Chain A
């Protein structure tokens, strides 16, 4: 067994704690503006969503367009439960609500997984899209969810620290899964389903595993989202939200967890920081999707990619830095 506390893990541990400490100090010390402090929780929620969708899109290689639907199921289930638990300490209620929301979303993920696992490629996209749309329609038309005007008066308990903890745990679990035997099996399905089946990988089991885990974390993100805003509106979980999460994953790089974290952070902050930009947000998203795909997969852009390689740029930078002392 490999040593758990090796150099790399220690580095990540320290980084995690330092980032939390700095952000916590900045926000408690009122260094960050009111607007920025309000952005911390949405950033965390979006990171959880992006990382969990990456498990399906990046590692399993299926396109799911209903991630906002899972988020909605979790959000409504969790927040409805939280509202009934006013006697408990608020934090405990939130944790129970998150678990319940996650489990509810996972259960729906299982139900959606049943038809999806029999389909291939394009059909998966359209069925998950359809499910997402059905969920929004149902939430809009049910009495218990408050209908189109939304579920109101949810206790607002989600603060930066709890979101941060949940986010770190989510990234940790998905990263561990991705690097494990199970994760390699999931990636093998992405590379070639027939070949994976022929070496004895249980396709149905692993597809379902990825789906359910992804839905579980999306549900938790939904509860945090609701508990942060205090109100849930069905419309905010439509197709556009699913596409937004997909853009985080695609921009960060499919199959790259640090990429998802960085992309979700930047794309959540950018529209807030640049008010003028927010009109063009969706336009920019669409261009990001097309450009990333063309740059990544088209043979025509191979030469551009070779020039714009991080490793090459890093090497160039190193060379320059090493040359300087010689000149002096």
Chain B
């Protein structure tokens, strides 16, 4: 039982990270109607930025995370402007191939700059964790969970209460109509990419503090799993991303513990295929009828 609880808590930890990344996928998908393949690699950009800031420039950890968030937001906006914006009205195949190209570009640039070797991230948070009965909850897990919940609430308030957030909803509903209502579509899309990438930076920091080691390809598989979480929760839905992320993290951790470490990836991918077969709109997604 104790082991099960420990695994469950580990699952919540990794699940929260997936949830934060899945938010970026879901928001971009909702507004730009594209699968931003490079989103996973933004986590890597964030993690390396924080790594350089902390270990080479000796910046205090919280400031380093802030730098990481800013750098990632800038990356997200610039990538959108250079690579995705010119292709906005073309086929989804074209945009997707470009996004894969961007993902590869980020990975290989970082491979050239930092090398293939894994880097070990210095401890960002100094928090010992708590004991609940006989089960220890690591400090990283508590911080990860707390950060995710706070971000989720803040994001929901932002989208539903502020003008910019409502503009995002409007653009995702109907781009043309939103433009006619005087919403600056370009700025709204940029803002979405900035927020999504900033969340990816936070996820990168939490990932690095939980797993210590970072490497140039760390974002690729994490990103794909987060996308699966977004699909599982229902793409375009913010509570769905949170829910999907947590479910996926728990399933992955439990299958690692009780079935096989190697097979756990196959199980996660199997879930994606099952969800798409049985309920393509995800667990919390709304069904949309395709119009000609």
Contact = CB atoms under 8 A, between A and B. Distances in A.
**Do these two chains interact?**
yes
Interface of A: 57, 61-63, 65, 115, 118-119, 121-123, 125-127, 129-131, 133-134, 137-138, 140-141, 194, 239, 243, 246, 250, 279-280, 282-283, 285-290, 292-294, 296-301
A115 B86 contact: no
Contacts of B91: 61, 297
A296 B94 CA distance: 9
A115 B292 CA distance: 23
A118 B227 CA distance: 19
Given A119-B280, A122-B34, A298-B87, A286 B104 contact: yes
A134 B262 CA distance: 10
A293 B270 CA distance: 31
A288 B107 CA distance: 15
B97 A121 contact: no
Contacts of A239: 220
B157 interface: no
Interface in B103-121: 103-105, 107-109, 111-112
B154 interface: no
A127 B260 CA distance: 22
Interface string B260-281: 1011011001101100110010
Interface of B: 29, 34-35, 83, 86-87, 90-98, 100-105, 107-109, 111-112, 220, 224, 227-228, 231, 260, 262-263, 265-266, 269-270, 272-273, 276-277, 280, 292
B21 to A, nearest CB: 14
Q: Looking at chain A's contact residues, is the secondary structure mostly helix, strand, loop, or mixed?
A: helix
12 contacts: A61-B91, A63-B96, A115-B273, A126-B272, A130-B269, A133-B266, A134-B270, A286-B107, A287-B105, A289-B100, A294-B98, A297-B86
Contacts of B29: 122
B263 A141 contact: yes
B35 A122 contact: yes
A117 to B, nearest CB: 11
Task: Identify the interface centre among A65, A133, A293, A300: most chain B CB within 10 Å of its CB.
Answer: A293
Task: Identify the interface centre among B83, B102, B105: most chain A CB within 10 Å of its CB.
Answer: B105
Contacts of B270: 134
Contact of B276 (A63, A127, A297, A301): A127
A290 B105 contact: yes
Given A115-B273, A283-B112, A293 B101 contact: yes
Contact of A137 (B109, B112, B224, B266): B266
A11 to B, nearest CB: 32
B262 A137 contact: yes
B35 to A, nearest CB: 4
B36 to A, nearest CB: 10
A61 B94 CA distance: 10
Nearest to A285: B104
Nearest to A191: B91
Contact of A127 (B97, B220, B265, B272): B272
